[in-house]
Structure 1
Amino acid sequence: MKYQSGPDQIPAMLLKISAPAIANPVATLINESLATGYIPKLWKTARVVPIHKSGDSTLVSNYRPISLLPVMSKVLEKCVYTQLRDYYQYWNYLTPDQSGFRPNHSTTTALLKVCNDIQAGMEQGNLTGAIFLDFPKAFDTVDHGILLEKLKNSGIGDRTLTWFQSYVSHRSQYVSISGSSSLPLPVTCGVPQGSILGPLLFTKFINDLPNVCKASTVHMYADDTVIYTSKPNLPQLEAVLQEQLNN
């Protein structure tokens, strides 16, 4: 996947090689996009390549769709991603209960956090119960309206919000497999898997989940979520976890 190009068929290596000659024109295009809050429609068309995850290769559900975007789109996204990431880190807008897509965090840090909390409960003589959640097609079901509202509530200004509105609007994609391609179809929800901004936007989308489960502890790695709590006995444990699910 590393060396496959998007629908423009322009490899990223070409931009790197020609950077001394095209850096200024590319910077002008990026600045114009940010200033006007507009992204060209061609930059929002994705070539989707299905990647087999595991299991029966004849089942569509066993494939992960990876969006390959035009190389100029990725350059633009990288610029926005860097600024948005730094902004959220500076103001501590992202929950510490998320280990996915964060510097110096991994599945290992997520596991250590949960195991340490369980150990602490055991030392106090409590039982610990946990609910493990894996949201199906989590990236593909992000509601654009809710995402934009959450960006606004985190202090994103009107002009930048207009840019994000353009980013999620009028997107399209087509599937490419074994040399054949489908007709393009509109994308009305979700953030592109394989994009640079997608993981950060998804992280922001589910950032407030721990606030809903105030009677328990929540830890996430991307969309993989565990809700757990420690109580003196099983009835109390079941009651709290059921309440969290109901919420």
Structure 2
Amino acid sequence: MLSFRPVTLTSTLRKLIERIVARGVRDCIEDRLRPEQKGFRPARSPLDTLMQVASAVRRRMDGERTAAAFIDDARACDSVDHGCIVRELLSFGVERHLVAWIAGFLRGRTSKVRVDNALAEDISVTCGVPQGSVLGRLLFIITVASLGRRLKRITGLRNGFFADDLGIVCTSNDLSELQQRKQQGLDCITHWSAECRVEVSAGKTEHTQLAAREAKLLSLKVGATALKEERAPELVDLTMHRLKGLSKHGLCMKAVASTRLLQLRAAASPEWGPDREERRGSHRAPEQAEMCYGVASWWFDTSLSDLERVERVQAQAAHMVAGNPKAANREGGLREARLKPINEVARRRALDHYL
């Protein structure tokens, strides 16, 4: 039940007014938001956050250790303090009449739950941003911006946000310095969370040292709770392994795609079932989309043998889509199925990102 949350169903007129207010707020804040925040912003995507963290991992020098922590805020959008939202709006220089309207929009909200024909009594909502509203996501990233500014003051600590997903990364050849920086970052997050009434879930917060075979464990805490070091933590659904780094994600994608491939094989009979275009669509939608998620951030760190495994899955899917035998030429099968090698997809997306 903790995963369920009320969704705000506002009227058409209210949504129109929210859009007008949101445009006025964006005009004031967009140029002042930190580049580390990628969520709910125009022309941004999870790939930006993944590339940011991946870049920090790649830049380490020989002998240096890289430590990463991925922080989980428990229902952050539902618990953030309204006072913090108003203070952040004012600090960004948003016009006072817009701030007053937003404060009134948040104040005195109620919600109720309907199950079949039974309707619960009104519940007063005293914190959080309205889920499903036009303004909700924008107000949240404005509030989180203050945390980004605080983390930026910690020397040697890099961070990346996508909405409420946060990763912090630091690199050093001194283990004690690494420990100190990471703990400073976690303490900063803990203090900010207490001020804004956002709970950090220590049980779901993960940390690891990357590319360290004989790494001594770091003793890190969130508040009074010690964190457990994970071998393969996740940030925005990207898996990072302690030894294999970002290449671990490629293996995970290959495993997921292989399962999808079995489903495609069951429906890809040349005598019956969907035609070629339907088979192509059913492959591109769930299977290729999963294989290519964030591909520009992990593809170039993955070993050639692991890359070949992923490409082999794409080639098998192409043969099924085109109705070709397994022994058919790989390049010809991809052309006939109108599919691209994953390597080409990765290079195109990396180029689009940097341009």
Give your verdict on TM over 0.5. Answer: yes
Distance 2:125 2:2 in 1: 19
Q: Where does residue 145 of structure 2 map in the other structure?
A: 207
2:30 paired with 1:127: no
Question: Which segments of 5 or more consecutive residues in structure 2 lack a partner in the other structure?
Answer: 189-355
2:95 paired with 1:157: yes
Distance 1:94 1:129 in 2: 26
Question: CA offset at residue 118 of structure 1?
Answer: 0.9
Pair 1:223–1:168, CA change in 2 (3 A): same
Give the secondary-structure state (helix, strand or coil) at the position aligned to 2:167: strand
Give the secondary-structure state (helix, strand or coil) at the position aligned to 1:165: helix
Instruction: Tell whether the 8 Å contact from 1:210 to 1:217 is kept in structure 2 after alignment.
Output: no
| Aligned with residue 113 of structure 1, among 52, 55, 71 | 52
2:61 paired with 1:138: no
Give the secondary-structure state (helix, strand or coil) at the position aligned to 2:69: strand
Instruction: Tell whether the 8 Å contact from 1:191 to 1:202 is kept in structure 2 after alignment.
Output: yes
Give the alignment of 1:159-178 within 5 angstroms: 159-178=97-116
| Aligned with residue 190 of structure 1, among 128, 138, 142 | 128
Instruction: Provide TM-score, normalisation by structure 1.
Output: 0.70
Question: CA offset at residue 125 of structure 1?
Answer: 4.2
Aligned length in residues: 185
| Cα-to-partner distance string for 1:116-138 (whole Å, 9 max, x where unaligned) | 111012x4542110111110110
Q: Which amino acid aligns with 1:164?
A: I
Q: Where does residue 42 of structure 2 map in the other structure?
A: 103
Question: CA offset at residue 97 of structure 1?
Answer: 0.6
Distance 1:116 1:194 in 2: 33
Q: Which amino acid aligns with 2:65?
A: L
Distance 1:106 1:67 in 2: 24
| Aligned with residue 180 of structure 1, among 118, 125, 132 | 118
177-186 or 138-147: bigger deviation: 177-186
Q: Where does residue 148 of structure 1 map in the other structure?
A: 86
CA RMSD, Structure 1 to Structure 2 (Å): 1.6
Instruction: Tell whether the 8 Å contact from 2:6 to 2:111 is kept in structure 1 after alignment.
Output: no
Instruction: Tell whether the 8 Å contact from 2:56 to 2:158 is kept in structure 1 after alignment.
Output: no
Distance 1:101 1:156 in 2: 18
Question: CA offset at residue 105 of structure 1?
Answer: 1.3
Instruction: Tell whether the 8 Å contact from 1:95 to 1:207 is kept in structure 2 after alignment.
Output: yes
More strand by share: 1
Distance 1:200 1:141 in 2: 15
| Cα-to-partner distance string for 1:150-203 (whole Å, 9 max, x where unaligned) | 111111233222212211111111123334321112111111011110000000
Instruction: Provide TM-score, normalisation by structure 2.
Output: 0.50
| Cα-to-partner distance string for 1:96-146 (whole Å, 9 max, x where unaligned) | 11111011211111101110111012x454211011111011011111112
Give the secondary-structure state (helix, strand or coil) at the position aligned to 1:72: helix
| Aligned with residue 29 of structure 2, among 54, 63, 88 | 88
Identity of aligned residues (%): 31
132-141 or 209-218: bigger deviation: 209-218
Distance 2:174 2:54 in 1: 19
Give the alignment of 1:49-88 within 5 angstroms: 60-88=1-29
| Cα-to-partner distance string for 1:71-95 (whole Å, 9 max, x where unaligned) | 2211111111122123322xx1211
Distance 1:144 1:166 in 2: 10
Instruction: Tell whether the 8 Å contact from 1:125 to 1:232 is kept in structure 2 after alignment.
Output: yes
Q: Where does residue 273 of structure 2 map in the other structure?
A: none
Question: Which segments of 5 or more consecutive residues in structure 1 lack a partner in the other structure?
Answer: 1-59
| Cα-to-partner distance string for 1:1-23 (whole Å, 9 max, x where unaligned) | xxxxxxxxxxxxxxxxxxxxxxx
